[in-house]
Amino acid sequence: MNGVSVSTIWQALEVWQQQGWLRALDINFGRYLQRQLGDSEQSLQVAVLATLVSHKLGQGHPCLKLAELRRNPDAYLHILPEHLRLNPQALDQSLAAFLPDQIFAQQEPMQWLETLQQSVVCKGEQSPLVVVEDAIYLRRMWNYEQGISVDLQRRMTQQVPITAPQVAEHLTALFGPPQAPQVSWQRLACAMAVKSGFSMITGGPGTGKTYTVVRLLALLQALHTGAQPLRIRLAAPTGKAAARMTESIAAERANLPNNYQQLLNTGAETELTAVTLHRLLGSQPGTREFVHHRQHQLAIDVLIVDEASMIDIEMMAAMCAALPSKARLILLGDKDQLASVEAGAVLGQLCAGADAGGYQPATANWLEQATGEAIPANYIATTDTVAPYLQHTVMLRESRRFDAEKGIGKLAFEINQQQTTWLKSWLADSAQATQANPSLANIALLQPQTAVANEFYQFVKAGLQPLQQSLAERPEPSATDIEFAEWAARVLRQLGQFQLLTAVREGEWGMQGLNQMLESWFRPSTNSRERWYHGRPVMMTHNDYQLDLRNGDIGIALATRPDEPLRVAFPALGESTELPVRWLMPSRLNQVETVYAMTVHKSQGSEFVHTALVLPAHDSPILTKELLYTGVTRAREQFTLIAAQPKLALKATQRRVERYGGL
């Protein structure tokens, strides 16, 4: 065993668990496999690798890449030098100290693979691990990935009986004639989506995804030749994203030509109210199963899913299995946003290379015939070795909300491109940069050294002052129920004007710490010990289908008349309700948390007039360019970066999420 005992190895792993580097689940999985295999050196190698496969899954990776592990264990497993310095007792237990050198005795990755492949844990269709090239999967993750791949390949090769001239006629009616030399990527996206059974439309904020989708819905119905209209469903990963999709499409629908509006008013067969994916598939509490699956599929013809960057590999596999083989699947989203909290980065992997186009000449020719748009030569591939998914992807490239040379747009562009020249200058002296270039006035930097610093308090107080004023403008007790509901709706709208976002959950600059601090600042003094109080903003943390509330829905606790109990107001569902809000008793809300601050992950699918992104005091693997980009682009008009150490923003810009997988 090269001087390292089995007990020493597991003791070291337990230290990592105590430091929060590993989960108990990871270690228990490895120990379980070793008990099945015995105490040989080979068994120990397999058990440790299995522990690390589970660890990477917990970080969102469907597999463990052996070459990356061998090259730089600590960096690959996200155990930073800072963590080791903060925990001297664990310094000698660094993975780099003994994992490659002692456990694996300087073996190369291919030798590790041979060790695994000879083990019973990788043999047979029911084995717990799967080895593919230099990657190790848990069997469940491998099955999900294979199911997705097979399903999408089949949909991409479906022959759709639609000709380019048929498409061109409707696109002219929906978009007007082509405006050369400007390229309408929205028009190209619609043509791409009707060409096969699977397509993706990706683009940043303000690039026109909703504008495109509404016209795509009309185009699909116009091209349909069946006796009954297409059965179309809209979905999103979270309740917040589903609600925004519904609202956006309802607003844009009115801008269609009248005859196409009529196509979208064909009754219940076309469902234009978005739902969560869990609701669409029919989640079954306490299980991983859904009502709809391969043996009981959805009765739909087209499924359009927004905010697809948030879809994890397990949900994607379930969705593909539940969708009839002849149905179209269309994914919308920003490939540059954060990936899902759970394992996988489905949209990011499938859209890899979309910035460069990569269209084969045959694809480009069909799109040009169908749209009248000349695809620039630099987006056409010069070789046949391009990703097949790119032949089904259109990237919307022009933001109508942000200017890439100004303010929020420039900041987001720099971060996304991992460029730091301008960013360094702005962080070094943001006040001077803003004075020298007034177009940057809608972005700002705040640099308090602690969360309790006076400048941070004054900033938050100013940001929440309009909300506090709205709360104080409560109607008189004699006001009607409708007047109280309208007041609550104004408060909810004001709640969406200013939002603190955090990179992490814990710590002084984390979501939990900031929420506790802000509650102490803004909670009415008469309710110092009560969980519920007038003005408490809350977010749902889980779906509650009984209350028709979804993960991510935001409400606020309000006191109305003196003789009435405190109630929580949520936005009303749909346009047919009498009141603009729904009132719920706090006792019915068991899965909520205070939301003066929320994590960037939780903010996906939302936007706020003024967003302030709070970075932690110390570096962390979670600080990546995707997290910064997502935080910046949640702002509609104003963005503030709050960082005790602005240099962490530069470090984060140079670090990107690498979700390893085979898609």
Within 8 A by CB and 6+ apart from 4, the residues are: 98, 102, 103
Give yes or no: residues 125 and 264 share one domain. no
* Confidence check: pLDDT of 105 > 80: no
| Average pLDDT for 513-522 | 91
Q: Is residue 542 part of a domain?
A: no
Higher pLDDT: 371 or 385? It is 371
* Confidence check: pLDDT of 555 > 90: yes
Q: Is residue 390 part of a domain?
A: yes
Q: Of 396, 430, 446, which closes a domain?
A: 396
Q: How confident is the model at residue 642 (pLDDT cuts 50, 70, 90)?
A: very high
Give yes or no: residues 44 and 80 share one domain. yes
pLDDT at res. 79: 63
Give yes or no: residues 122 and 197 share one domain. no
| Average pLDDT for 525-548 | 82
Q: What is the pLDDT of residues 263-311, one digit of tens each?
A: 887 654 456 888 889 889 988 777 788 899 899 999 999 999 999 988 9
pLDDT at res. 106: 53
Compute the Cα dihedral for 311, 317, 321, 324 and give only its sign: positive
Give yes or no: residues 39 and 167 share one domain. no
**Token reading at 60:** 């969102």
Give yes or no: residues 194 and 222 share one domain. yes
* Confidence check: pLDDT of 158 > 50: yes
Q: What is the pLDDT of residues 207-246, one digit of tens each?
A: 888 899 999 999 999 898 877 888 999 999 887 788 888 8
pLDDT at res. 439: 55
* Mean pLDDT score of the chain: 83
Determine the residue type at 650: L
| Average pLDDT for 539-544 | 84
Give yes or no: residues 224 and 320 share one domain. yes
484-489, long-range: CB within 8 Å, 24+ apart, which pairs?
A: 484/560, 484/561, 485/569, 485/579, 485/580, 485/581, 485/583, 486/580, 488/556, 488/558, 488/569, 488/580, 488/581, 488/583, 489/569, 489/571, 489/580, 489/581
Beta-sheet strand order (sheet of 608-614): 443-446, 635-642, 608-614, 498-502, 597-599
DSSP line for 609-658: EEEEEEPPSS--TT--HHHHHHHHTTEEEEEEEE-SSTHHHHHHHT----
Q: What is the pLDDT of residues 19-72, one digit of tens each?
A: 777 888 998 998 888 888 877 777 777 888 888 899 888 888 888 888 888 777
| Binding-site annotation: residue ranges for ATP | 203-210
Q: Is residue 355 part of a domain?
A: yes
Give yes or no: residues 415 and 369 share one domain. no
Q: What is the pLDDT of residues 464-490, one digit of tens each?
A: 999 999 999 999 999 999 999 999 999
The closest alpha carbon to 53, from 36, 32, 37, belongs to: 32
How many independent structural domains does the chain possess?
3
pLDDT at res. 574: 54
The closest alpha carbon to 423, from 647, 113, 153, 106, belongs to: 647
Q: Of 81, 105, 133, which closes a domain?
A: 133
* Confidence check: pLDDT of 88 > 60: no
**Token reading at 72:** 């730089």
The answer to whether 232 and 220 are in contact (CB under 8 A) is yes
pLDDT at res. 549: 82
pLDDT at res. 85: 44
Q: Is residue 146 part of a domain?
A: no
Q: How confident is the model at residue 91 (pLDDT cuts 50, 70, 90)?
A: very low
Q: Rounded distance, CA 371 to CA 353, Å?
A: 23
Q: Where are the beta strands (DSSP E) in 115-224?
A: 129-132, 135-138, 198-203
Give yes or no: residues 172 and 288 share one domain. yes
Higher pLDDT: 129 or 656? It is 129
Q: How confident is the model at residue 133 (pLDDT cuts 50, 70, 90)?
A: confident
Q: How confident is the model at residue 1 (pLDDT cuts 50, 70, 90)?
A: very low
| Average pLDDT for 346-371 | 88
Give yes or no: residues 87 and 169 share one domain. no
| Average pLDDT for 73-85 | 61
Question: Which helix (H) or strand (E) is 333 found in, with range?
Answer: strand 328-333
* Confidence check: pLDDT of 104 > 70: no
Higher pLDDT: 135 or 322? It is 322
Give yes or no: residues 517 and 628 share one domain. yes
pLDDT at res. 316: 94
pLDDT at res. 159: 76
Q: What is the pLDDT of residues 598-615, one digit of tens each?
A: 999 888 878 899 999 999
| Binding-site annotation: residue ranges | 203-210
The most distant pair of C-alpha atoms in the chain lies apart, rounded to whole Å, by 82
CATH number of 475's domain? 3.40.50.300
| Average pLDDT for 250-269 | 78
Higher pLDDT: 265 or 652? It is 652
Q: Is residue 15 part of a domain?
A: yes
Domain span including residue 62: 6-133
Within 8 A by CB and 6+ apart from 661, the residues are: 61, 62, 63, 145, 313, 344, 345, 349
Q: If 0-12 CB within 10 Å is exposed, 13-18 middle and 19+ buried, where does residue 150 land?
A: exposed
Give yes or no: residues 106 and 178 share one domain. no
Q: Of 358, 374, 396, which closes a domain?
A: 396
Q: Which of 365-379, 386-400, 646-660 is the most confident on average?
A: 365-379
Give yes or no: residues 412 and 381 share one domain. no
pLDDT at res. 86: 45
pLDDT at res. 132: 85
Q: Is residue 305 part of a domain?
A: yes
Q: Is residue 58 part of a domain?
A: yes
What are the helix (H) ranges across 176-257? Answer: 185-193, 209-223, 239-253
Q: Is residue 491 part of a domain?
A: yes
